Amino acid sequence: MLNIIIPLRTMLNHAVEDGLLVANPASRVGRFNKKPTEPREDLNPFTRDELRLFLNAARQHFPDFYPFFLTLARTGLRLGEALALQWGDIDWQGRFIEVRRSYCRTSKMLLTPKSGKARRVDMSQQLTETLKAVLVERKKNTPEGLGRGSAVGVRVRNRNAASWR
């Protein structure tokens, strides 16, 4: 359908510009042919108590995963954005994260965020202290420095979206 509407609209636009038509009758045709969108599932986020229980369980049973889950919970980053987070994206004095890239599972590449633009996300005091502790631990345990990998302890692999160090 678009293969017909777009050239027709273009031709009629030229006719309007040449003064042969007053208005383009095909200028709004496409708006009536849109496919109905499927209703989205309602989001069901954690309550405060559920989030507290989840983060406590993560800290106790999966301490390597805790910084990642805390980052997701406290910033609202998308999964790919959190996977692509690097130490240079964090402003410790301003307590914010500059979201500049996102990891795409299908292409296994770092891309721009979904919006196409970088954005700033505030960090809570708890998240700032937790990520600083991860940074200190990484520097202490990695002789060659921080190396490659995400700021929150994630290493992207071919088969898995994320693997913890």
Dist. CA 1–CA 17, nearest whole Å:
24
Residue pair 96/164 in contact by the 8 Å Cβ criterion? no
Query: What is the total count of domains within the chain?
Result: 2
Give the pLDDT of residue 151.
Answer: 65
Bridge partners (DSSP) listed for residue 122: 96
Question: In sequence order, what E strands does the chain have?
Answer: 90-91, 96-99, 102-104, 109-111, 119-122, 154-155, 163-164
What CATH number does the domain containing 113 carry? 1.10.443.10
125 within some domain: yes
Closest CA to 120 of 80, 77, 156: 77
Cα 15 from chain centroid? 44
Question: Which DSSP symbol is given to 149?
Answer: S
Give the pLDDT of residue 150.
Answer: 62
Same domain, 93 and 16: no
Which position has the higher pLDDT, 144 or 162?
144
Give the pLDDT of residue 35.
Answer: 67
Give the pLDDT of residue 33.
Answer: 59
Same domain, 22 and 67: no
- For residues 144-164, average pLDDT: 51
Domain encompassing residue 139:
63-164
> What are the φ and ψ backbone dihedral angles of 74, each rounded to 5 degrees?
-90, -15
Same domain, 25 and 70: no
58 within some domain: no
Same domain, 18 and 69: no
Give the pLDDT of residue 133.
Answer: 93
Q: With bands split at pLDDT 50, 70 and 90, how would you rate the model's confidence at 120? A: very high
36 within some domain: no
pLDDT digits (tens, 9 = 90+) for 59-85: 999 998 999 999 999 999 999 999 999
Same domain, 10 and 88: no
- For residues 28-37, average pLDDT: 66
Residue 149: count of CB within 10 angstroms of its CB? 18
